[in-house]
């Protein structure tokens, strides 16, 4: 009996210890007494440990779609080179763009990209580097489209931009109505008696080879005084289409100013470009979730496309949709699906690429970590790309996945601001490099298929 009791005692001691530690693991145990610091007791710390890339449960439909798809569909979906093609026909979702890029490479044609986004890309962040990479490899000179006024004109470094304070700005926030339809930038401007705008080349842009003005229905008495290095001239804006173009200079100039006498005429902005190469138009609008893109009438989108002939439309949103207290995003994806359909119908000859949102920090218990909804939100963006037959790139995973924004902010080299949401200039360049590499990998694969 004594032997049995001695065997039972260690077992009971271990059992009681486990029970006590288990209890302590579920209650706060941190406290300090003088120099003594009691740490958190957590018997299950190793079990609880989450890897850098957390796998969240996804709706069954995400997997069910893949199971039902044919082998050909699955192969098209495969994220070769980082960009997934969810095309619903034999032409890949990015092939129209790659086709145009090949023509630029071989025949010096123009390739044009419209990059729609929120504050992630305002001030030409990310797009300035993406544009530079393309222009270094394929040619081109100029920053593309720039609106008449901008709240980030003092922040943008790719062009020096100033304007009078008397412009009326109809935009996504205020609306323009049928009399003042908004342009792709989300703005429509109305001049008063002495309204002017000035653009000057920066170290980035250099001189302007071609400057073109875009405006709505004109009137016979609408005039613009244009001043360049060659002097001052008067240009009459008298066209009557929904979107019109006026070429303002025919030789390089270091600066250009425009003074308007155009009461009642909708003015959209100017484009700075050359005769060939690749151009990236930055259509950033702060605080935008992307849903307001349907506020731009289809005839306005198409009117711009008559002149720009877009080959790729990039949709980069999510930062203003994800929030810790949002219970469901079903409403958002239903609405964003209509956005993609509206853009697809407006630019039928262009490829469309959805950029999955980047990581975003959420502060909990004094510590920054990934907003829990983001991995699921990104998967839903991918699902939306599949349903609409467009391309998708997962920025969240490419920048490092779970807690990557924390690393971008707190690392030895800071790549993001301390709001744990927005990249700084270095971070935007890093994102642009990643995206450009993935696009070029896909382009090389496209070229190889043609050989």
pTM, two decimals, is: 0.83
Number of other CB atoms surrounding residue 448 within 10 Å: 8
Tell me how far apart the alpha carbons of residues 203 and 132 are, in angstroms, rounded to a whole number: 13
Cβ atoms 409, 418 nearer than 8 A: yes
DSSP 177-194: TTTS---TTSEEEE--TT
pLDDT of residue 367: 93
What confidence tens digit (pLDDT) does each residue in 368-415 have?
999 999 999 999 999 999 999 999 999 999 999 999 999 999 999 999
122-173 per-position pLDDT tens digit: 999 999 999 999 999 999 999 999 999 999 999 999 999 999 999 999 999 9
pLDDT of residue 24: 65
Place of tokens 């807690």: 403
**Which of 200, 206, 177 has the alpha carbon at shortest distance from 190?**
177
Burial 249-282 (b: 16+ CB within 10 A, else e): beebbeebbbbbbbeebbbbbbbbbbebbbbbbb
* pLDDT confidence of residue 65: 44
- Identify the burial level of 17 via C-beta atoms within 10 angstroms of its C-beta, where 0-12 means exposed, 13-18 middle and 19 or more buried: exposed
pLDDT score for 423: 97
Rg, C-alpha atoms of the chain? 27
Helices and strands, counts by H and E, the chain:
12, 21
Distance between CA atoms of residues 91 and 56, nearest Å: 32
Low-confidence ranges of the chain (pLDDT < 70): 1-8, 10-11, 14, 18, 21-81, 218-220
Q: Is 136 helix (H, G, I), strand (E, B) or coil?
A: helix
């Amino acid at each position: 009996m004594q032997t049995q009791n001695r065997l039972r005692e260690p077992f009971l001691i271990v059992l009681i210890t486990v029970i006590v530690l288990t209890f302590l693991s579920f209650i706060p145990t941190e406290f300090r007494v003088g120099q003594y610091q009691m740490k958190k007791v957590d018997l299950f710390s190793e079990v609880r440990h989450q890897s850098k890339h957390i796998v969240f449960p996804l709706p069954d439909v995400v997997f069910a779609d893949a199971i039902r798809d044919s082998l050909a569909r699955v192969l098209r979906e495969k994220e070769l080179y980082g960009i997934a093609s969810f095309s619903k026909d034999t032409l890949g979702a990015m092939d129209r763009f790659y086709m145009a890029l090949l023509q630029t490479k071989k025949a010096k044609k123009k390739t044009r990209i419209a990059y729609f986004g929120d504050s992630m890309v305002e001030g030409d962040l990310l797009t300035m580097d993406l544009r530079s990479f393309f222009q270094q490899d394929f040619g081109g000179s100029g920053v593309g489209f720039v609106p008449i006024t901008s709240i980030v004109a003092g922040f943008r470094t790719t062009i020096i931009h100033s304007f009078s304070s008397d412009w009326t700005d109809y935009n996504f926030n205020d609306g323009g109505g049928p009399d003042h339809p908004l342009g792709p930038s989300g703005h429509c401007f109305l001049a008063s008696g002495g309204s002017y705008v000035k653009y000057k080349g920066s170290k980035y842009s250099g001189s302007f080879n071609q400057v073109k003005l875009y405006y709505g229905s004109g009137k016979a008495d609408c005039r613009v005084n244009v001043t360049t290095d060659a002097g001052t001239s008067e240009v009459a804006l008298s066209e009557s289409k929904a979107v019109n173009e006026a070429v303002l200079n025919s030789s390089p100039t270091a600066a250009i100013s425009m003074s308007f006498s155009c009461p009642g005429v909708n003015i959209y902005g100017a484009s700075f470009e050359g005769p060939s190469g690749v151009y990236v138009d930055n259509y950033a609008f702060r605080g935008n979730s992307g849903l307001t893109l349907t506020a731009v009438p289809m005839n306005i989108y198409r009117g711009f496309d008559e002149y720009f002939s877009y080959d790729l439309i990039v949709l980069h949103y999510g930062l203003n949709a994800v929030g810790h207290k949002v219970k469901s995003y079903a409403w958002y994806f239903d609405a964003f699906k209509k956005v993609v359909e509206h853009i697809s119908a407006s630019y039928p000859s262009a490829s469309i690429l959805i950029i999955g949102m980047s990581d975003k920090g959420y502060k909990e218990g004094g510590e920054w970590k990934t907003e829990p909804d983001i991995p699921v939100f990104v998967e839903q963006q991918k699902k939306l790309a599949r349903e609409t037959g467009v391309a998708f790139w997962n920025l969240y995973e490419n920048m490092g996945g779970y807690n990557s924004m924390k690393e971008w902010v707190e690392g030895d080299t800071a790549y993001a601001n301390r709001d744990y949401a927005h990249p700084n200039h270095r971070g935007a360049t890093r994102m642009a490099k990643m995206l450009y590499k993935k696009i070029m990998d896909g382009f090389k694969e496209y070229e190889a298929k043609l050989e």
